[in-house]
Amino acid sequence: MNESVVTKLLAQVIYPKLDKDIVTLKSIKNITISGKRVDISLAISNEEVFPLIEEQIKNILADLFDEIYIQFGTQQNKSTNYGSTSNPNNRAAYAKHIIAVTSGKGGVGKSTVSVNTAISLAQLGYKVGLLDADVYGPNTPRMLQVQDEKLQWNDNNQMIPSENYGIKVMSVGLTTPKSDTPLVWRSSVAVSALIQFLEDVAWGELDFLVIDMPPGTGDIQLTMAEELPITAGIIVTTPQMISVDDVSRAIMMFKDIGVPIGGLVENMSYFIAPDTEKSYAIFGEGGGEETAKKYDIPLLAKIPLTMSIREGSDEGRPAVAMGSPIEKQYYKDLTHNLLVEIGLL
């Protein structure tokens, strides 16, 4: 009997509530075998799951060892080794699914889509966290009406995420002394901050971690693909050709680095006049549909530009929570289509 065989057997041990095994979650710190005795050290700090995991381990190894000793609560040293897109790390093992929302350019409503998608998932009963990875333009605190909250730490020296509308949120916008404090960071510093947000925030166990990416195809997008096993990417565009040109690069980046694409969202698809309720294609027509067909990816939603959605975003009243029934349905349909694409419906 050797460590490799024991490790394979321990892949049958499921971490409660996450539906993943402790080997995949990298929860095994050390295995020591001495004759008919085995000592297993686990990097798990949640006391509630200790007995459940211990029972599974002892049942699986009972026929092989006379003595089985399991040590809990020994935290793994944080890895300073970066992963690769072909073999990413898993710095968010507490989340079952990771959704990365990105765009080719700024100003297309990516954060609005991120916030409303996260809330829509929570409305379906999922445990959801939202990480604002757009470090140079952190808008999600205002959209969730938590912009005036100050960062707090718990007894385990972890940052406590803000909460509203049923989701947890962490953003660099919650860490600055004033809302207009500029973040003059080199990309290496921004990347380090985001890794800290993944590892040093008290997220708890999540069904979904939604990441609001910065626009473009830079270091942060690449790092997230290297440090997280992303379940699916959502790419946001407008029908305008300039936006479509840029979003094509974002699509190809995800394809090149092996990130599954959940689909495309055509935001500001058309403008609905508040007085006449007539529709106007002020940014052009068909850009999202043509792009989705060209790259063989699903078109998850076409969301119009309305005064009420814009005002709600500015005032911390997300459309899927506080909008009209038809506005809520835009994002509910988007979320439904996403869940279908990733195999949960």
Per-run averaged pLDDT (10 residues), the chain, 345 residues: 90 82 84 91 75 92 92 57 77 95 88 97 98 89 92 83 97 81 75 89 96 85 91 93 85 92 94 86 85 94 92 94 96 98 95
Global pTM? 0.78
- Identify the burial level of 297 via C-beta atoms within 10 angstroms of its C-beta, where 0-12 means exposed, 13-18 middle and 19 or more buried: buried
Longest CA span, the chain: 81
**How confident is the model at residue 82, as a pLDDT?**
66
What homologous superfamily is domain 3-71 in, according to CATH? Fe-S cluster assembly (FSCA) (3.30.300.130)
Q: Which residues lie closer than 8 Å to 157 by C-beta, 6 or more apart? A: 200
Tokens 């001495």, located at residue: 34
The answer to whether domain 95-341 has CATH 3.40.50.300 is yes
The rounded distance, in Å, linking the Cα atoms of 272 and 261 is: 29
The rounded distance, in Å, linking the Cα atoms of 267 and 260 is: 21
Strands 261-272 and 95-103: unpaired
Domain limits of the chain? 3-71, 95-341
